[in-house]
Chain A
């Protein structure tokens, strides 16, 4: 799962080197996927009364 995040960034870099117009879209998708993985790893609740 975590590996896929870096595969997306790899594709973004390849797109930049090749000057592809889909780069910003894929970059945003990579960020959203990073956020999804962050939420999936939020297994412990953080008490807000510390």
Chain B
């Protein structure tokens, strides 16, 4: 703990810090969406359809922007990558929405959450992400500060940011590995059979344990003096 408290303080402009907070919040919002889908898969036992996997892939792509902003520094190109990923995900979710509204008797795929199916929530997420990135691009100050990222800072905020980054990475590993038993190395079935899940509570425990593991890794990284050598003084 002393290592963290006695950390070298690197001056960061107020605008850059605000942009970092927004990026971390965006990252945790994405984690929330991914956690919901993982709970449905690992807890309820609802296997993801091919279009669901496309949207999950785009969600991971969406996270690339905030992750790069936090680790490499604020750059317009990072937001551009998130916008492109949101366009890809939007295409996937639009396709799925259209498939299910084309037939009025179609109840939709999977259970509804707060009145909407997950692919509708995914479409809303991608749309909000595009608007959010556009607003962040309108804000020049964080880019002018020549931010180099929070990689070499020690603080509780850095632990929170690293937890989010590692959590997304662990989610990616879980999603990627769970594709193998469902689809193998080929194409996925259009309507995969459900599996026996860990149950409602069990599913959330699995999701929570991924987050706790991410937090533990983040604390270990920030506490390790060998990993953390203050490199540069940013503005």
Q: Are B50 and A30 in contact (CB under 8 A)?
A: no
Cβ A7 vs Cβ B81 within 8 A: no
Shortest Cβ distance from residue B89 to the other chain A in the assembled complex, whole angstroms: 8
Q: Which residues of A contact B98 (CB under 8 A)?
A: 46
Q: Dominant SS at the B interface?
A: helix
Q: A25-42 vs B: 1/0 string, CB under 8 Å?
A: 001101100110110111
Give how many A residues have a beta carbon under 8 Å from the other chain's beta carbons.
31
| Chain B proximity of A7: nearest CB distance (Å) | 7
User: Given that A1-B185, A2-B53, A31-B61 are known contacts, is A38 also in contact with B91, CB under 8 Å in the complex?
Assistant: yes
Asked whether A31 lies within 8 Å of B84 as measured between CB atoms, the reply is yes
- Determine the distance from Cα of A24 to Cα of B67 in the docked complex, in whole angstroms: 12
Does B113 count as interface, using CB distance less than 8 angstroms?
no
Contacts of A16 in B (CB 8 A): 64, 67-68, 71-72
Tell me, rounded to whole Å, the shortest Cβ–Cβ distance linking A33 to chain B. 9
- Residues of B contacting A47 with CB < 8 Å? 102
Contact present for B54 and A34 (CB under 8 Å): yes
In the bound complex, residues from chain B placing their C-beta under 8 Å from that of A3 are 176, 179-180, 183-185
User: Do B68 and A23 touch (CB < 8 A)?
Assistant: yes
Q: How distant is the Cα of A7 from the Cα of B57 in the complex, in angstroms? A: 10
Pair A1/B186 contact, Cβ less than 8 Å: yes
Q: Are B101 and A31 in contact (CB under 8 A)?
A: no
Q: Is the CB of A50 within 8 A of B176?
A: no
Q: A17 CA to B64 CA in the complex, in Å?
A: 11
Q: By the criterion CB–CB under 8 Å, are B54 and A6 in contact? A: no
Residues in B with CB closer than 8 Å to A23 are: 68
Q: How far is the CB of A44 from chain B (nearest CB, A)?
A: 7
Partner of A42, one of B72, B95, B101, B169: B95
7 further A-B pairs in the complex, CB-CB below 8 A; given A16-B67, A38-B51 = A2-B50, A5-B54, A6-B60, A24-B77, A37-B50, A41-B187, A46-B99
List 6 contacting pairs A-B, 8 Å CB cutoff, sorted by A.
A1-B187, A3-B180, A16-B64, A27-B81, A31-B88, A34-B88
